[in-house]
Structure 1
Amino acid sequence: MMQSLPIHRRLPQASQLVYGCMGLGGGWNDNPVSEQDIQQTHQVVDCALEEGTNLFDHADIYTFTKAEQAFGQVMKVRPELREQIIIQSKCAIRFADEKGPKRYDFSAEWIEHSVEHILRRLHIEQLDVLLLHRPDPLMVTEEVAGIVEKLQRTGKIGHLGVSNMNVPQMRLLQSALNTPIVCNQLELSLSNLQWLEEGVTHNSSSFLGTIEYCRAHGIQLQAWGCLSQGLFTGRDLSGQPEHIVRTANLVQSLAEHYQTSKEAIVLAWIMRHPAHIQPVIGTTNLERIRACALASNLTLTHEEWYRLYESARGNELP
């Protein structure tokens, strides 16, 4: 029988929760990073660390690079933090520009360019994990492998991960690499159940077997969108389907039973899966960061997990 893998076995010091930095830097606009944005980043980093979260997730596109800029200003004045935290960032999404439309770019030139600028913005010398953000249909695996080897050899990156990749894409890329893919970041949540449905109902899906493949090959699963944008933790549910309202009420009931937060219930549901999934939380609200951290102290029962699953899917399992 296959044994469950420990959380991030190649980064054993990584926390169960990941702090997603997409909300830092002052928003998706052309305004420069302000002192207020930097101060907010200091507060978020401190709060996350106080609650035991030491893995910080970036992407070069987040708030048009400003998330990395704001985080980098924190690192610049507090270099001692580098020994306490793990930093990952993503590249490959390119917005429309004078050269072409919005696109994904796995070319060696763009990956190297991206890493150099990520390191510069973050004021660090090495990125612990580089994730390729979305699959590029024009990917040349040998070219990707070559630049990854160069970036590792020169100490610019420690490990390689991916995001939003299915099994055939991971298998193809891994066939050319001389380093393991260490993580895959997917949209996994109580409101987006495709990752579970494909294994239960045998529906045909481009992500069929992705969870099992990652478990078998020691690829850490990370969940973006894991809080469903507050759907079950306090958002206005006017006009929502009956099963969504029912699930929100169930989350509230379980939170009261365990004397914990609704965020903790939603995250504990994801973390109950034997794949040891790492939820990526992105709130900049300090109280909500603390509410999310409570999930680390909670284990739902087998029956509670299925009650939430059945409620969220809207009907009984087959």
Structure 2
Amino acid sequence: MRTIKLGTTSLDVPVIAVGCMRINSLSSTQAERFVQTAMDEEANFFDHADIYGAGECESIFADAIHMNDDVREKIILQSKCGIRKGMFDFSKEHILESVDGILKRLRTDYLDILLLHRPDALVEPEEVAEAFDILESSGKVRHFGVSNQNPMQIQLLKKFVKQPIVANQLQLSITNATMVTNGFNVNMENESAVNRDGSILDFCRLNDITIQPWSPFQYGFFEGVFLGSDKYPALNKTIDQVAEKYGVSNTTIATAWLLRHPAGMQPVIGTMNIERLKDCIKAGDIQLTREEYYAILLAAGNVLP
């Protein structure tokens, strides 16, 4: 599979990340087959979080991949922490405790990447910096990033944290594309001109932070999948036409749309369907034209000023 550099690191990662949030929906046999298929397809970047299945998903994954030292050398593991029941928590104590739990469940000595999951209103960046220093010096975490953070939140962390922020996991899909569309509605008197994220797309590009789009096929906030939905007839018609041209599925084209952006994004694919996973992986070999990219964007209801 085609690879990119993750942030400012020397780490080569697949352009598709395999999200493991739903792996607890599979039987042990199905989970093993799914993980093996991902490995066979060179999709060896696996995304986790300590809250997925209340930690169960990490344990299931470790069993499914038959975690040992030899296997660990062949995969890239990313997990997230910072969400607790009824609150977000970036305290030093919680970060360190969370990582120990993650490593135990994944049966590994280290994470390649740790992300802070959701911005904590009570964040004390000095504590985050202390936690990161301990995790790095102990060898438990090699690289650090964030999730769902805007430029100023990242800048606040960077004031104290010495490690580079290498990734930012953000909601982005064809139908949730304000990150893209507010960029060409600057100074316009319309809803699309509202800057809701502090120009996070440009900020990440300027600072060499890899954007990892989550829910790449969802509309709204987990309201449903736009592919095949009667809510988006024009979009599906356009995607299907492009898919026919390339001889691939609509899933492949929806993924290729994200990969077409020059920011060098790494979509996190959450499907547990093996054929759909393969369809997503095929997107790494497709380069949509500028005309196709914009046709799909506009078919989703976005309007050029």
Aligned equivalents of 1:181, 1:160: Cα separation in 2: 6
Residue by residue over 1:88-129, the C-alpha shift from the partner in whole angstroms, topping out at 9 and shown as x without a partner, is 00000001xxxxxx1100001100110000000000000110
Aligned partner letter, 2:18: Y
Residues 87-236 of structure 1 aligned to structure 2 (within 5 Å): 87-95=77-85, 102-202=86-186, 203-228=193-218, 231-234=225-228, 236=229
Shift of 1:46: 1.1
Aligned partner letter, 1:13: D
Contact 2:89 2:120 (8 Å CA) reproduced = yes
Contact 2:181 2:302 (8 Å CA) reproduced = no
Contact 1:271 1:278 (8 Å CA) reproduced = yes
Deviates more, 1:69-78 or 1:269-278: 69-78
Q: How many residues are paired up?
A: 292
Residues 1-318 of structure 1 aligned to structure 2 (within 5 Å): 6-9=4-7, 10-26=9-25, 37-95=27-85, 102-202=86-186, 203-228=193-218, 231-234=225-228, 236-237=229-230, 240=231, 244-312=232-300, 314-318=301-305
**Unmatched 5+ residue regions in structure 1?**
1-5, 27-35, 96-101
CA RMSD of aligned residues (A): 1.7
Contact 1:38 1:71 (8 Å CA) reproduced = no
Shift of 1:198: 1.9
Cα 1:315–1:62 shift into 2, 3 Å:
closer
**Unmatched 5+ residue regions in structure 2?**
187-192
Aligned equivalents of 1:316, 1:184: Cα separation in 2: 27
Aligned partner letter, 1:59: A
Contact 1:56 1:87 (8 Å CA) reproduced = yes
Shift of 1:75: 4.7
Shift of 1:74: 3.2
Shift of 1:311: 1.1
Cα 1:85–1:92 shift into 2, 3 Å:
same
**TM-score (normalised: structure 1):** 0.88
Q: Secondary structure at the match of 1:184?
A: strand
Aligned equivalents of 1:259, 1:286: Cα separation in 2: 19
Identity over the aligned pairs, expressed in percent? 39
Q: Secondary structure at the match of 1:22?
A: coil
Cα 1:120–1:148 shift into 2, 3 Å:
same
User: After the TM superposition, which segments of 4 or more aligned residues of structure 1 sit over 6 Å from their partners?
Assistant: none
Aligned equivalents of 1:114, 1:295: Cα separation in 2: 34
**TM-score (normalised: structure 2):** 0.91
Residue by residue over 1:135-167, the C-alpha shift from the partner in whole angstroms, topping out at 9 and shown as x without a partner, is 001000111101110011001111111000000
